Amino acid sequence: MKILFLCNKSPWPPKEGGPMAMNMLIEGLAEAGHTVKVLAVNSFKYHITPADIPSYYLDKTAIELIDVDLRLNPWNGFFNLIRGKSYHVQRFISEHFRKRLEEVLLSGDWDVVQLETLFMSPYIETIRNHSGARIFLRAHNIEHRIWQRVAEDTGNPLRRWYIRHLAKTLKSYEQKIIHSFDGIIAITPTDAGYFKELVDKQNQNSKLKSQKSKIKVIDLPFGIKPETYLVNSETREFPSLFTLGAMNWIPNQDGVRWFLINVWPDIHKQFPALKYYIAGREMPAWMFSLNLENVIVLGEVEDARAFISSKAIMIVPLFSGSGIRIKIIEGLALGKTIISTTLGAEGIEYRNGENILIADLPCEFYEMISITVSDPDLCNRIGKEARKLIETKYDSEILIRKLCGFYKQLAP
C-alpha cells in the first residue's frame, strides 16, 4: 500500500508522546514493506531543522516539513470567538501546506491518507478533490475533553469561561467533521467507544439512507518493540520517585503542581532522604524556580529510556487529558513500578495491584508511595508483571498487522 501521513508536528525525533505515537506507525508500516510519505507541520513550538533529520529516516519516510505559523494571535482568537469557530483547528489552516499537499496527491496513486490528530482535518476537501484514497483519522485524544477538564481545574473565572468556549467550539467541529472520514483509529477503547456512539447518533438522526455514515472505528494503542527496552533493576536508584513528560502540555504541569502541594510535603516528612525527580521538555520557569528539598528538576533529558531505567517509582498524577500515556507504556516496558491516577492510566489494560498501582486521592498516593519505597521485592514483582503486559498487549508488530487489516477492510 501507499500511505500518506499528514502530521500536526514532525514525528522525528520521537521524544514526546505525539511524535512517538506517529512514528510507531510510520516506521512500522515502512518496515512492513509499505510505501510511506510524511507531510508534517513545522512550527515555532516544535521546530525541527530539516538538515538534522538523518538520511535513513528521510529514505524511509520521504518526510517534508512545512512551516506553519501557530503562534497565538489575539485578533484571530477574537475573530473566531465571534464566529463560533474552533481557534484550535483554524490555526492549522495554511495555504502553503495545502498547495504542497495538492502536489503530493497528484504525484502518486495513494491508497490511504492518514490524518494524525483532528487538527489536520481542514485538508480533507483537498484530499477528496485530488485523490481517491481512503481517509483515516488517527485520534490521539478526544481533543475537546482535554480542554473541558482543563477548564474545570482553572480558578480564574474569565480564563475558565474562555477555555470552556474553546472546548465547546472544538467539540462542535469534531461532531461536524466526523462524517468526512472513512475510518477512525482511536488510541484507546474508551475513545473508540465515544466515536462509535457519535457515528451511531448521527446515523439515527439522518432521515435519508444515503446520508447514513459507513465509518468504521477501531482502537489501536501505542506500541513498542519490547526487545529494544532492556530491564535492568541493578542500576536503578532505590528508593526514588520520578515524573517524566512534556511540560508544555497543561495537564502534565497541573498534575505535578497538585502532587507537590497535596502529597509531597507529607511524603518528605515521612521519608526525608527520598528524592523526587521531575524531567521533560519545555519545562516552565516556575518548576525550575522550585526550592523544595529533594525535589530535583532536570528539564529535558537526553535519553528518556536511560532516565526511566535509573529511577524506581514512576508518579503519574494526571487529572485531565485524554488518550493514552505513552510514558506509562515505556515505564511498563522497563519494569517500573507506576503509581497513576485512574485517568492517567486510562486506555491501558492494567490490573490494579498487579502491574500498576492506582491512586486518585492524596492519601492514596501517600499510602502507595509509603508501601513501595519500603519494599523493593514488591516493586520487582510489579515490574515483572508490567513487562509481561507490554509483551502480550503492546507489541508494535502485532498492532501494525491489525492496522493493515483495517486499511484493507475499507479498501475501495
* Residue 373 belongs to domain with CATH number: 3.40.50.2000
- What is the number of domains present in the chain? 2
Say yes or no: 205 and 308 in one domain. Answer: no
Say yes or no: 136 and 279 in one domain. Answer: no
Say yes or no: 293 and 205 in one domain. Answer: no
Say yes or no: 259 and 317 in one domain. Answer: yes
Say yes or no: 242 and 188 in one domain. Answer: no
Provide the 3-class DSSP secondary structure of residue 223.
coil
Say yes or no: 169 and 244 in one domain. Answer: no
Query: Quick count: other Cβ atoms within 10 Å of Cβ 296?
Result: 13
Say yes or no: 12 and 157 in one domain. Answer: yes
User: Which residues are bridge partners to 137 per DSSP?
Assistant: 115, 184
Say yes or no: 202 and 264 in one domain. Answer: no
pLDDT at residue 204, rounded to an integer: 77
Q: What is the b/e burial string over 194-221, where b = at least 16 CB atoms within 10 angstroms of the residue's CB?
A: bbbebbeebeeeeeeeeeebebbbbbbb
Say yes or no: 125 and 138 in one domain. Answer: yes
Residue 299: domain span = 226-393
List, for residues 17-56, the tens digit of each pLDDT value.
Answer: 889 999 999 999 999 999 999 999 999 888 999 999 999 9
Say yes or no: 242 and 125 in one domain. Answer: no
Residue ranges in the chain modelled with pLDDT below 50:
210
pLDDT at residue 80, rounded to an integer: 58
Say yes or no: 133 and 204 in one domain. Answer: yes
Say yes or no: 13 and 135 in one domain. Answer: yes
Print the SS3 string covering the chain. CEEEEEECCCCCCCCCHHHHHHHHHHHHHHHCCCEEEEEEEECCCCCCCHHHCCHHHHHHHCCEEEECCCCCCHHHHHHHHHHCCCHHHHCCCCHHHHHHHHHHHHHCCCCEEEEECHHHHHHHHHHHHHCCCEEEEEECCCHHHHHHHHHHCCCCHHHHHHHHHHHHHHHHHHHHHHHHCCEEEECCHHHHHHHHHHHHHHHHHCCCHHHCCCCEEEECCCCECHHHCCCCHHHCCCCCEEEECCCCCHHHHHHHHHHHHHCHHHHHHHCCCCCEEEECCCCCHHHHCCCCCCEEEEECCCCHHHHHHHCCEEEECCCCCCCCCHHHHHHHHCCCEEEECCCCCCCCCCCECCCEEECCCHHHHHHHHHHHHCCHHHHHHHHHHHHHHHHHHCEHHHHHHHHHHHHHHCCC
